[in-house]
Amino acid sequence: MPLESEIKAEAIKLGFVVCGITTPAQPETFGAFQSWIEAGCHAGMDYLARPGSLSARENPASLLPGCRSVICVGLSYPPPEQPAPASRSGLGLIAAYALLPDYHHVVQAGLEKLAARLPGLAGRSVQSKVCVDTSPILEKDLARRAGLGWIGRNSLLYAPRLGSYLFLGELLTDLELLPDASLQGDPCQDCRRCVDACPTQALRPDRSVDARRCLSYLTIEHRGSIQSDLRPLLGWRVFGCDTCQAVCPLNQAAPTSASALPVISAHPDLLEELALSQAAWKAKYQGTPVLRAGYAGYRRNLAVALANLRPEGAFQALQAALEEELSPDLRDTFRWALEQLQAPDVKTKS
């Protein structure tokens, strides 16, 4: 069996659902990535614009001296639960990927095991480096080039029969491996469902995302207040957004099961969440991506969701939280939420 086939078979044994190989040549989308940065679409993610970060994304081989190949893998996760809860239930919504143990650790552990098996498969010592999306690497472009799938209009990688509910990872190696061919065609050519469904119209014509308007960015990475005109569009979301994936025809046949099971609920009770102390919140979400939002950011999201859903008891809970809150940004959001609850009920987009 060719070495490439053996490596792919090992990746599947380790739980990855797809594996492909490409070269460490400059990604074709690097120029578009630069333009995206120059347009300010990275919002507050300043680390993406650092010279060292840009240089590494332009030249993946720089991450590993002697790099000759990139092994790209995908790990599936369960799609969002359907149907979503009624909008007046007082329940929030957490994106599907965040219900599992933090994928950074899971993907990294799997790739480290694969790296440990390379010397035995190759019959020589092998230099390798594990990368996940915290590394300065354009992983979706590399995965596309390695034949894992296509890039959709929502910027995500779609794999045949698997859809976009995938965690990606890369293993850079000094092995000279035969690269796979990228897939032909464009399943998204005549479809705009994700573009039309995006609550904030954050999807750009070049298949990139304007983070300044993206609900995933705003509820996770963004620090401080969310601009007031976008707050009603959050609906009941308190961490992330799955809308552009949920409406995609390519995801309708995606597997409903995955190797990992959810460790938290997709629909937390908003009032119970607001009552959590920082220590209790950290303990509840320890080991999950939800911690990425930070305690203050999560409470900001809760306040917006409470204002949008208007469940019974929301005003009293927010009033009590405002009296104890010291952060100026959070106080601003709490005051706004209280004003919304006192105003006539207006249907929000969820």
The encoded tokens of residue 346 equal 């207006």
The backbone torsions φ and ψ at residue 180, rounded to the nearest 5 degrees and listed phi first, read -85, 160
User: Residues 149, 158: contact at Cβ < 8 Å?
Assistant: yes
User: Which residues are annotated as catalytic?
Assistant: 133
Sheet holding 18-22, edge to edge: 18-22, 69-76, 166-173, 128-131
Q: What is the DSSP letter of 148?
A: S
The backbone torsions φ and ψ at residue 297, rounded to the nearest 5 degrees and listed phi first, read -65, -40
Beta-bridge partner residues of 158: 150
The span from the CA of 163 to the CA of 254, in Å, is 5
Q: For residue 228, how many other CB atoms are within 10 A of its CB?
A: 12
The backbone torsions φ and ψ at residue 186, rounded to the nearest 5 degrees and listed phi first, read -150, 95
